[in-house]
Structure formats: structure tokens, C-alpha cells
């Protein structure tokens, strides 16, 4: 076989993924035959109605839950259990209230028994990146929602995972903060170039950040549309006003509206 003709192995490959839960005497089917791939350094956005199974899908990719059928491969290896090759950011800022900002960010390294001094240096670099320099010794209770999510993002990046999973990371924030955080994430991603799968409710956010948007249908969720975002990089927040961007957003919205009609 000609190896040059073959596409290189994608970083993430999801095949025939289905999941159903036991519920009472019946079964609740949450995901049905999900299939997609994510290339290395790609930014993929997932949108879909709430309760359709987006969080569940991310947890499956992270190995936190087991599928009823199908397979997930990360960097060629089947995902069977949680692994440190993913960084996870939850919808709620999931920080440890009893740890300082810096200690929250070093947690992934501490769990691995790494060198403390190195860990603190790494944390410093990331806190600089998410613009929280000077907040090292603050406790989470002192932070705003947006700041807490930036700490969570720094923590998800500190052990340099291959894949970053973001579950509606700005969903709990007010509209203005949310927009600012979208721009921040764009800047951070352009600096780090991680492979990202992000769940979001915001179509403009998805279009601004992602290379590709997958639209999921209502539960049991399957992929009902795939919208490539052919906007040049590096992107800026101003691009949102361009016709090309509106066009992509329109396509995503159309797909979502079809979902509502079902």
C-alpha cells in the first residue's frame, strides 16, 4: 500500500459511538452512531440543543464513561479509561476552593509527583498566558466567574495534554464577559495551537474560534450537519462582522433550526 496516499492518522477518531443508560424498565438512548475525526491542531466546535448529550460525548472522549457501542482512538490508542492526554474544562468553574490560584494550576503536575519548582514555573507561564499574573496567592472565592474559568483553562493546559476538551466553558458567564473570554481563548489557542473540541451554545463563538462546526440533533444525538469554517487565520474578533463569517453562522443556525422543527 502506498503510505503517502493515505491521510495521516487523525489525533482523535470516533467511530460508531453509541451510549444508552438504564432508566427504570427501559433504556435511555443518549448518543447514536456518532462518527467524526479531529486532526492534530484542529479546533472543532460542537453545537446542539441542550440535553442532547454533548457533555456525555466529551466524557466518553475523556474516558470518564464507557460507550455502549463504538470506539474512540486518541493518537492511535483506544480510549479505555481516563488519561492525562486530555485536559478538561467544565461548564462550572471547577476549582478547589481550598487551594490558591497557583496551587490549582499546579495540581495536575503535583498529582504526577513532579518537581515543585518546575511546576510553579509552569504555572507562572500559564497564568501569564491567561492574564492572571499577580493572582497566584488568591483563593477561588475571591475571583470573578471569568477569572475562575481562566484558571481552569490554565490548569487544563499545564500538563501539556494532546487534546483539550471544553464543555461550554463560558456558559455560566454573562454575555459581555463571555464575548471577552471568546477573544481570550482565540488568542490563547493561537499561541498554543492545541487540538481542541469545544461544546458551545453560542454560534458566533463557534464560528470565530473553530475550523469546523458539528451540529448535533436532539437526543439520541447524532451528527446532523458539518459546517467547515473557511475563515483565514490568524482571526480577530472583528472578523465576526464580515459577510464570510455571517454566511457560515447562517449555515450553522439553519442546521440548528431544522433540529427545532423535529
| Site residues for ligand ADP per CB under 6 A | 21, 28, 30, 50-56, 219
How many residues are given for the chain?
262
Close Cβ partners of 64 (under 8 Å, ≥ 6 residues apart): 82
Q: Taking the complex as a whole, how short is the minimal distance between the CB of residue 167 and Mg ion, in angstroms? A: 6
Distance, CA of 35 to CA of 104 (rounded, Å):
34
* Residue 55 touches Mg ion, criterion: CB under 5 A: yes
Selected binder of other proteins within 14, 38, 44, 59 (CB under 8 A): 59
Q: Taking the complex as a whole, how short is the minimal distance between the CB of residue 95 and other proteins, in angstroms? A: 9
Cβ proximity to other proteins: between 107 and 229 the closer is 107
Return the C-alpha torsion angle 238, 239, 241, 244, nearest 10: 170
Q: Is 224 helix (H, G, I), strand (E, B) or coil?
A: strand
Residue with cell 469554517: 229
Q: Taking the complex as a whole, how short is the minimal distance between the CB of residue 56 and ligand ADP, in angstroms? A: 3
Please report, as residue ranges, which positions from 137 to 176 form the binding site for other proteins (by CB under 8 A).
139, 141-142, 159
Tell me the Cα Rg of the chain.
Answer: 19
User: Cell for 113?
Assistant: 509527583
Cβ proximity to other proteins: between 81 and 117 the closer is 81
**Which residues in this chain contact other proteins in the complex, by CB under 8 A?**
59, 62-64, 82-84, 86-88, 90, 92, 94, 96-99, 107-108, 110-112, 139, 141-142, 159
Amino acid at each position: 500500500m502506498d503510505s503517502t496516499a493515505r491521510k495521516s492518522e487523525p489525533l482523535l477518531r470516533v467511530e460508531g459511538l453509541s451510549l444508552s443508560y438504564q432508566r427504570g424498565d427501559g433504556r435511555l438512548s443518549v448518543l447514536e452512531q456518532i462518527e467524526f475525526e479531529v486532526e492534530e491542531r484542529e479546533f472543532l466546535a460542537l453545537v446542539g440543543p441542550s440535553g442532547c448529550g454533548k457533555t456525555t460525548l466529551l466524557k466518553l472522549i475523556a474516558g470518564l464513561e464507557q460507550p455502549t457501542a463504538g470506539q474512540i482512538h486518541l493518537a492511535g490508542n483506544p480510549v479505555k479509561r481516563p488519561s492525562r492526554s486530555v485536559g478538561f474544562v467544565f461548564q462550572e468553574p471547577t476549582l478547589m476552593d481550598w487551594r490558591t490560584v497557583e496551587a490549582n494550576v499546579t495540581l495536575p503536575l503535583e498529582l504526577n509527583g513532579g518537581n515543585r519548582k518546575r511546576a510553579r514555573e509552569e504555572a507562572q507561564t500559564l497564568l501569564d498566558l491567561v492574564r492572571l499574573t499577580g493572582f497566584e496567592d488568591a483563593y477561588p472565592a475571591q475571583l470573578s466567574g471569568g477569572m475562575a474559568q481562566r484558571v481552569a483553562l490554565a490548569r487544563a493546559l499545564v500538563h501539556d495534554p494532546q487534546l483539550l476538551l471544553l464543555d461550554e466553558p463560558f456558559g455560566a458567564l454573562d454575555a459581555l464577559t463571555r464575548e471577552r473570554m471568546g477573544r481570550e481563548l482565540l488568542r490563547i489557542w493561537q499561541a498554543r495551537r492545541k487540538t481542541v473540541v469545544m461544546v458551545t451554545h453560542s454560534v458566533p463563538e463557534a464560528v470565530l474560534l473553530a475550523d469546523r462546526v458539528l451540529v448535533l440533533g436532539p437526543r439520541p444525538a447524532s451528527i446532523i450537519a458539518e459546517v467547515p469554517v473557511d475563515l483565514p487565520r490568524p482571526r480577530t474578533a472583528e472578523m465576526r462582522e464580515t459577510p464570510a463569517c455571517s454566511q457560515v453562522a447562517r449555515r450553522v443556525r439553519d442546521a440548528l433550526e431544522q433540529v427545532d422543527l423535529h
